Structure 1
């Protein structure tokens, strides 16, 4: 079946995973305590803190307890929605102040632009919040490229290793799952997407996985639609 839309991961796929782990995460960890204390009364932050209390199963958790929890989740690379939302708010300031720009692989940028020009709808599915996704692409090395994408999905849609998430995404797109190509560097995510009926390609930029049943490429240049 022909491909009518492309769904892409970010970390390790369009963007060097080191940018996330060596730039974004440390930046959020450094500024998170002061940011939470200074903005604790903001509506957006209050909602995030409420979600964090739910995650901890402690509705009475105090601010410092929550700050410690956020930092612990960062250290453990936990995919906690409340953390992702908070990181997004902190990164807004970093991007706007020019502290960093969103990394993009040159081949990814080239082909995303080309596919967009061909009229192929592009979507993003990342464990990072939609806000964080839009920031990375809005303040990317190549400038603001958010206009290339027709939609964004994060863990509020579902976990990336669960079939139901991809079924939901295909439904939002209004397409048969078999008409969607999902790009990722994680085999388990591709397994879930394929179980939902999507076509899949694994980006193995640094090293070839020992076992993989998906079409495998080392860059966007090798992807055949």
Structure 2
């Protein structure tokens, strides 16, 4: 960038740079907005190289510019379309570096702070320069017309194909449940938890037999003996898994089987690289994040509680499963939006990889984005939804 745009933000009162102030949301928002602007400028072709930097002022009119804080800097060598909030430093108006970006994301070294302050203080009195761009961005996201869009109050995430590779579910979780269902039932047959699982499966299989569902076999009563009951249960569960059925009876049992696997360190959740970064960003902006999956709430907590990026549950406010309804039915999303306490359904952003789920959520009034991830199925032509390949594009 030949010269540096300075973008003013509404922020908290910036007097002395106390630790309490530095940990408030104003500076965090400025860092997030600076990284968004870097990516936007790169997309528009204004700043395509790795050189240059950007500074964002945490602003309130009642505070003299000499007392305001600035989010500035960039990770050396990083293209601007890859700049993240963690790459940005906090600066005081006199050039003092305040909170350093965390070094843990970058091996042993934090990113170096670029020489951005000279652009912000070239009057010699700490007054910010607005020579190029005088843009005031409230809490919102820049769109392609350089206008602002309100951030969602809540984000609801699908798991399979959205936060997590489909291959992890189909090649790891499902086989683990299928291979261990007999062992699990034998070891826990008399526990209240498993008795409840068996009751749900009996009810589901009875309905399946009436409807002629392929693979359904009768489950004998307990008087037939434990081994025969378990054998019938295993046959039904294997058929349900093979058909990838999204039913509560199956998902509840799978969750309990996976719990054993996670507790024994035989399983670890997998999420895409952009997921923890996006969760951190949304959390810093006060956006509440929820999960809606056909997997049980227990299974959801297990997956995010022990991932390849650590425990991510601290960023999640709640979990929805098939008890709220089928994921391809509009009523399910109406129920979710009503339970989140938002003013209107459009305050909720739903992220999924499944077209039918996107249609159902849109019909309920939610905002929707479809994820294009490796291994995801094709979408219909002219599907009409915006798509992204990473949460960081949102």
Q: Tell me if structure 2 keeps the 8 A contact 1:53–1:60.
A: no
Deviations 1:109-130 (A, max 9, x none): 2101110121100000001000
**Is it true that 1:128 corresponds to 2:295 in the alignment?**
yes
Q: Which residue of 2 aligns with 1:216?
A: 387
Give TM-score, length-normalised by structure 1.
Answer: 0.94
The answer to whether 1:107 aligns with 2:274 is yes
Partner deviation per Cα, 1:83-140 (whole Å, 9 max, x = no partner): 1111111111211221131001011221011101211000000010000000000011
- 77, 83, 93: which is aligned to 2:260? 93
Cα-to-partner distance string for 1:5-26 (whole Å, 9 max, x where unaligned): 1001000000011001101111
Q: Which residue of 2 aligns with 1:52?
A: 201
1:213 to partner: Cα distance: 1.1
Q: Distance in 1 between matches of 2:171 and 2:241?
A: 12
| Counterpart-to-counterpart distance in 2, 1:98 and 1:146 | 18
Residue 232 of structure 2 corresponds to: 65
The equivalences for 1:150-189 within 5 A come to 150-175=317-342, 176-189=344-357
Q: Please list every run of 5 or more consecutive structure 1 residues that lacks an aligned counterpart in the other structure.
A: none
Give the aligned partner of residue 109 of structure 2. none
| Higher relative contact order, chain-length normalized (CA < 8 Å, sep 6+) | 1
Report the Cα distance in structure 1 between the residues aligned to 2:178 and 2:184, rounded to whole angstroms.
10
User: Does the 8 A contact of 2:220 with 2:232 survive in 1?
Assistant: no
1:197 alignment partner in structure 2: 365
Deviation at 1:168, TM superposition (A): 0.4
- Displacement of 1:81 in angstroms is 0.9
Structure having the larger proportion of residues in helix: 1
Q: Secondary structure of the equivalent of 2:323?
A: coil
Structure 1 residue 60 displacement after superposition = 4.8
Instruction: Find the counterpart in structure 1 of residue 248 from structure 2.
Output: 81
Match of 1:16 in 2: 165
Greater shift, 97-106 or 130-139, is seen at 97-106
**Would you say the 8 A contact 2:372–2:389 is kept in 1?**
yes
The CA deviation string for residues 169-191 of structure 1, in whole angstroms up to 9 with x for no partner, is 01110112111000000010010
Between the two proteins, the alignment pairs up a number of residues equal to 223
- Of 106, 118, 140, the residue aligned with 2:285 is 118
Instruction: Provide the secondary structure at the position in 2 that maps to 1:201.
Output: strand
8 Å contact kept, 2:158–2:352? yes
CA distance in 2, matches of 1:28, 1:143: 23
TM-score norm. by structure 2 comes to: 0.55
Q: 2:314 maps to which residue?
A: 147
Q: Whole-Å Cα distance in 2 between the matches of residues 59 and 89 of structure 1?
A: 20
Match of 2:186 in 1: 37
Secondary structure in 1 aligned to 2:294? coil
Asked if the contact 2:162–2:352 (Cα under 8 Å) also holds between the matched residues in 1, the reply is: yes
Tell me how far apart the structure 1 counterparts of residues 234 and 195 of structure 2 sit (CA, whole Å): 13
